Structure 1
């Protein structure tokens, strides 16, 4: 799948649910249509922490991380921060750092950003419940890499590495155009 025409700058990334499988989707940007995985419970307009669903929303891209020890010369207009072993993401709704990057050691519930399985080798932080946080509304909603076989995520949007590398040069931080990921 995918187009052969060049991508134009300023295109919004749209994510459409696949009609045949609730945890699959298509990421669309300009002429490209790429297969993706979404939450194991599909998508929802009423996201809650731990529900396994991907929120239906327009989510600006806030920032990104890259495993510099695994991937070299990733091209992107985003300022991609090199992932360190001490980087964690708090997913404990009762903690003051809920849905924020934290440093190890950290005892409350969290995601490791430097994962052994490579899912976060490229990881873009989407603005779901980040700039305007509410407890239990969901955390760590990222645009990251897939598990083998496009297995479902815990609520994120996931692409194959080759497809992420195709999109990254066109993704910018922001609230419109190529700085936003919309799940419909």
Structure 2
């Protein structure tokens, strides 16, 4: 597959962004083929995923890019396979299982949203594959790709909607 300088490419030594290599972590379940990815497996799906959104905590950081959207107190992400809005941003109160986007910790202060299993979500194929801040170096995610805060902010200032996250 041919890549472009705008692509983010997951490599064994980090996330390649242009000429930079950014240390990162992936899901606790390792890498998984898209055909076997399941909700809750903790795996980062292989494939080409487009960046379709950027969310940020406006009470904690300045807008990282003109197209970034603030995360409000009622913003959630549905992870319930029975929810008609599965793998979509929803608002509280929400009767189905979900993840809060406005967290007490800084992990979701800045989030790049991918098109994994979106917008036409298949129930059970996995939700919310984001690029976000890591808890600490080497600490795995629930399936997302995570970076240090400075690297994530550097990336957010340069990335454009539609950029590709390539996970081989």
Structure 1-normalised TM-score? 0.84
Matched, 1:52 2:30: no
Deviation of residue 10 (structure 1)?
Answer: 4.8
Deviation of residue 161 (structure 1)?
Answer: 0.8
Q: How does 1:22-101 map to 2 (within 5 A)?
A: 26-45=14-33, 46-74=36-64, 76=65, 79-101=67-89
Aligned residues of 1:10 and 1:170 also touching (Cα < 8 A): no
The separation in 1 between residues aligned to 2:16 and 2:70, in whole angstroms, is 27
Instruction: Give unpaired runs (5+ residues) of structure 1.
Output: 1-8, 19-25
The separation in 2 between residues aligned to 1:14 and 1:132, in whole angstroms, is 24
Residue 146 of structure 2 aligns to a residue in which SS?
Answer: strand
Matched, 1:167 2:162: no
| Count of residue correspondences | 163
Residue 149 of structure 1 aligns to a residue in which SS?
Answer: coil
The equivalent residue for 1:4 is: none
Deviation of residue 149 (structure 1)?
Answer: 3.1
The equivalent residue for 2:166 is: 182
Runs of 4+ in 1 over 2 A off after TM superposition: none
Structure 2-normalised TM-score? 0.92
The separation in 1 between residues aligned to 2:12 and 2:120, in whole angstroms, is 26
Residue 23 of structure 2 aligns to a residue in which SS?
Answer: strand
The separation in 1 between residues aligned to 2:18 and 2:62, in whole angstroms, is 26
The separation in 1 between residues aligned to 2:157 and 2:137, in whole angstroms, is 25
Aligned residues of 2:76 and 2:92 also touching (Cα < 8 A): yes
Cα shift readout 1:4-54 (whole Å, capped 9, x = no counterpart): xxxxx9521101245xxxxxxx10012101110100011100211000000
Residue 115 of structure 1 aligns to a residue in which SS?
Answer: coil
Matched, 1:132 2:127: no
The separation in 2 between residues aligned to 1:87 and 1:166, in whole angstroms, is 25
